[in-house]
């Protein structure tokens, strides 16, 4: 890979980085607190996207394994301690010692994640091509903080006193929804685990996690940490395997109460269909996006270019909220494109363990080829290729950061989610026009607005039909900030208190007031 114009990888760096590659400790299914082989004894290969080589073989869960995991989670929910620890309103007594309370255990899990940040970051780097230093310093500490955030609400889950009519007193209880199936993608493996498992555990649910087949390793490692933290057996189960088999067995299971899915819109539709055709389990879906970043004439140019690059290239654009449609107002369009061309040359693609790398490899060959075919579409459709447009290097699944300008709304690259480092730049004249064009998509996950005019920022923020709006920033995620989609980007929210609510039922309890003159 050395010798590439924008790569900085050297042989010496490669040798040093090998020391960071972790020993793979967990490759079996985690069911009822034990690591076990799959029922069939089958395994599947997980691949290092830096080279295309096999890292290891992981247990391949099928329907029978999901059945075992669901049984463990059901027993843990119906008879186990987890939903009954302090913080849940399902029992009025707490027979467990203070140190077994949910808040404390989740805090301990967070500390364990922090203590193992380097190993988890390294697993996500070799399995998913994620930048090791971002993982160690941002993603993994972020996952630990997510567990702390939900630990903090675990003992504050309560209902309301209801007004009712005068003859009754009534209140609501917030109760855990039951057994949850989490089906998660490969783009943020450890963070996604925390984002789903944290609130569901805080609510008192028990669960089965099905990590993406491309990135099973960190979820299995986290399973081991849940055990060390003291989460009771059966409360968290991790079943690795293929989506159409293990994932589908979750969405169609008759004894799962909720499925929380993050992934593609196509698979989201299958999950919802399976939920409807089985036991009508609750569904929340966080799906694809084609988010606009809207840059107005009054924006500070350098900042706007940096945000556009960040929005469309961060995490090699393997992020559903990627700002892949960059609308630039006509007054600064030419200057913006010039600066973009200068700055993208400085963007460093390279091994995810290299501290200078800003972009690692795409997760797998299939995605890599799909992205390259979208790039070919862009070329054929007549957009101007400003930068990139090819694979990067000769080995692994690296792609050059690619920018198309003069993109038209009806081009495929402007309409479909590419899930790769490909930015489309589109020109606009007026605020009304850009609102209409930005909204002309089946998706509605996020949007960026870059302007110094408060009225413009407010008008656009209220007019864009998307779940998250970032004004003069991008990817401003926080544990306290819920996110999720409008339209075909899904429904239900992750993170924040909304992210907890989706794992809770509200139960109304009413009782007559016997001394009421009306009874
Ligand atoms: P992406 O486009 O991000 O790869 P997918 O929607 O294909 O997203 O995958 C996200 C998650 O959904 C993964 O864990 C995958 O295994 C799972 N999955 C894939 N197909 C199905 C299916 N038919 N039913 C349930 N889950 C599935």
Instruction: Give the neighbor-by-neighbor strand order of the sheet with 504-512.
Output: 161-162, 168-176, 504-512
Ligand 1: residue of 218, 247, 271 to mutate (most ligand atoms within 8 A of CB) is: 247
| Ligand 1 mean position, distance from CA 229 (Å) | 29
Evaluate if residue 39 carries a pLDDT over 80. Answer: yes
| Ligand 1 mean position, distance from CA 318 (Å) | 14
Query: Which pLDDT score, from 0 to 100, does residue 92 have?
Result: 43
Structure tokens at 295: 């840059």
**With contact defined as beta carbons under 8 Å apart, do 66 and 250 qualify?**
yes
| Ligand 1 mean position, distance from CA 410 (Å) | 27
Query: Please, which pLDDT band fits residue 80 given cuts at 50, 70 and 90?
Result: very high
pLDDT, tens digit, 9 for 90 and up, residues 282-312 = 999 999 999 999 999 999 999 999 999 999 9
Nearest atom, ligand 1, residue 213 CA: 16
Residue holding tokens 């864009």?
Answer: 464
pLDDT, tens digit, 9 for 90 and up, residues 362-397 = 999 999 999 999 999 999 999 999 999 999 999 999
Q: What residue owns the CA closest to ligand 1's atom 2? A: 264
pTM: 0.93
Angle between helices 217-229 and 117-128 (to 10 degrees): 160
Q: Which CATH superfamily is domain 292-479 in?
A: Aldehyde Dehydrogenase; Chain A, domain 2 (3.40.309.10)
| Ligand 1 mean position, distance from CA 358 (Å) | 26
Evaluate if residue 8 carries a pLDDT over 60. Answer: no
Measured CA to CA in angstroms, residue 422 lies from 16, 370, 409 at distances of: 31, 12, 15
pLDDT, tens digit, 9 for 90 and up, residues 12-26 = 344 345 457 889 999
Q: Which CATH superfamily is domain 28-286 in?
A: Aldehyde Dehydrogenase; Chain A, domain 1 (3.40.605.10)
CA-closest candidate to residue 434, choices 282, 513, 330: 330
Domain residue extents for the chain: 28-286, 292-479
| Ligand 1 mean position, distance from CA 107 (Å) | 30
Query: Please, which pLDDT band fits residue 144 given cuts at 50, 70 and 90?
Result: very high
Evaluate if residue 114 carries a pLDDT over 60. Answer: yes
Q: What residue owns the CA closest to ligand 1's atom 26? A: 247
Helix (H, G, I), strand (E, B) or coil at 112: helix
Structure tokens at 409: 């709304």
Query: Which residue in the list 175, 213, 286, 364 is annotated as catalytic?
Result: 286
Query: Please, which pLDDT band fits residue 89 given cuts at 50, 70 and 90?
Result: very low
Nearest atom, ligand 1, residue 262 CA: 10
pLDDT, tens digit, 9 for 90 and up, residues 145-168 = 999 999 999 989 999 999 887 788
Evaluate if residue 93 carries a pLDDT over 70. Answer: no
Evaluate if residue 252 carries a pLDDT over 80. Answer: yes
Nearest atom, ligand 1, residue 266 CA: 6
Q: Mean pLDDT over all residues of the chain?
A: 92
| Ligand 1 mean position, distance from CA 59 (Å) | 17
Q: Which residues surround ligand 1 with Cβ inside 6 Å?
A: 183-185, 210, 212-213, 243-244, 247-248, 251, 263-264, 267, 270-271
**With contact defined as beta carbons under 8 Å apart, do 134 and 169 qualify?**
no
DSSP codes of every residue in 175-193: EE--EEEEE--SSSHHHHH
Q: Give exposure, 153-165, as e/b (b: 16+ Cβ within 10 Å).
A: bbbebebeeeeee
Q: Give exposure, 110-125, as e/b (b: 16+ Cβ within 10 Å).
A: bebbbebbebbbbbbb
Measured CA to CA, the distance from residue 157 to residue 142 in angstroms comes to 23
Residue holding tokens 């809207």?
Answer: 294
Respond yes or no: is residue 320 known to be catalytic: yes
Query: Which residue in the list 175, 205, 222, 320 is annotated as catalytic?
Result: 320
Ligand 1: residue of 49, 196, 217, 263 to mutate (most ligand atoms within 8 A of CB) is: 263
Structure tokens at 72: 């463990």
Measured CA to CA, the distance from residue 441 to residue 362 in angstroms comes to 25
Q: What residue owns the CA closest to ligand 1's atom 20? A: 243
pLDDT, tens digit, 9 for 90 and up, residues 349-360 = 999 999 999 999
Evaluate if residue 211 carries a pLDDT over 60. Answer: yes
Nearest atom, ligand 1, residue 183 CA: 14
Measured CA to CA, the distance from residue 495 to residue 478 in angstroms comes to 8
Query: Which pLDDT score, from 0 to 100, does residue 188 have?
Result: 94
| Ligand 1 mean position, distance from CA 394 (Å) | 29
Q: What residue owns the CA closest to ligand 1's atom 8? A: 263
Q: What residue owns the CA closest to ligand 1's atom 21? A: 243
Percent of the chain's residues with pLDDT above 90 = 85
């Amino acid at each position: 890979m050395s010798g590439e114009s924008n790569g900085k990888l050297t042989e010496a760096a490669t040798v040093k980085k090998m020391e960071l590659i972790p020993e793979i400790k967990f490759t079996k299914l985690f069911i009822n607190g034990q690591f076990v082989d799959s029922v069939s004894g089958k395994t599947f290969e997980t691949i290092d996207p830096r080279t295309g080589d096999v890292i290891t073989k992981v247990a391949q869960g099928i329907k029978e394994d999901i059945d075992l995991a669901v049984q463990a989670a059901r027993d843990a929910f119906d008879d186990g301690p987890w939903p009954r620890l302090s913080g849940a309103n399902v029992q009025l007594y707490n027979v467990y010692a203070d140190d077994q309370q949910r808040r404390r255990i989740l805090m301990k899990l967070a500390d364990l994640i922090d203590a193992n940040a380097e190993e988890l970051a390294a697993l996500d780097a070799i399995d998913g091509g994620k930048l090791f230093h971002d993982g160690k310093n941002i993603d993994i500490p972020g996952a630990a903080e997510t567990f702390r955030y939900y630990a903090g609400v675990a003992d504050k889950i309560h209902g309301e006193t209801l007004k009712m009519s005068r003859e009754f007193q009534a209140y609501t209880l917030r109760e855990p929804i039951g057994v949850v199936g989490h089906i998660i993608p490969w783009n943020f493996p450890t963070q996604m685990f925390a984002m789903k498992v944290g609130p569901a555990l805080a609510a008192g649910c028990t669960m089965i996690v099905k990590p993406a087949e491309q990135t099973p390793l960190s979820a299995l490692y986290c399973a081991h940490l849940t055990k060390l933290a003291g989460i009771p057996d059966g409360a968290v189960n991790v079943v690795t395997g293929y989506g159409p088999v293990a994932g589908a067995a979750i969405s169609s299971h008759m004894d799962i109460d909720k499925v929380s899915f993050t992934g593609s819109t196509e698979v989201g539709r299958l999950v919802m269909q399976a939920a409807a055709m089985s036991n009508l389990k609750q569904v929340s879906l966080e799906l694809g996006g084609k988010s606009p970043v809207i840059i107005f004439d009054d924006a500070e140019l350098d900042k706007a270019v940096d945000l556009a690059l960040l929005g469309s290239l961060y995490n090699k654009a393997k992020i559903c909220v990627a700002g892949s449609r960059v609308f630039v107002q006509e007054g600064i369009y030419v200057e913006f494109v010039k600066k973009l061309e200068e700055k993208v040359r400085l963007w460093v693609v390279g091994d995810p363990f290299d501290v200078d790398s800003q972009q690692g490899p795409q997760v797998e060959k299939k995605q890599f080829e799909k992205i390259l075919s979208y790039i070919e579409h862009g070329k054929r459709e007549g957009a101007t290729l400003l930068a990139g447009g090819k694979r990067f290097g000769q080995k692994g699944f690296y792609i050059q950061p690619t920018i198309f300008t003069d993109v038209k709304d009806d081009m495929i690259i402007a309409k479909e989610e590419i899930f790769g480092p490909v930015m489309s730049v589109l020109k606009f004249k007026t605020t009304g026009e850009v609102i209409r064009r930005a909204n002309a998509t089946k998706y509605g996950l996020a949007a960026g607005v870059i302007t110094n005019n408060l009225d413009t920022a407010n008008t656009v923020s209220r007019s864009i039909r998307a779940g998250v709006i970032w004004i003069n920033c991008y990817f401003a995620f926080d544990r306290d900030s819920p996110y999720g989609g409008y339209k075909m980007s899904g429904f239900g929210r992750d993170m924040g208190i909304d992210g907890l609510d989706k794992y809770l039922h509200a139960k109304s309890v009413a009782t007559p007031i016997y001394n009421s003159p009306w009874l």
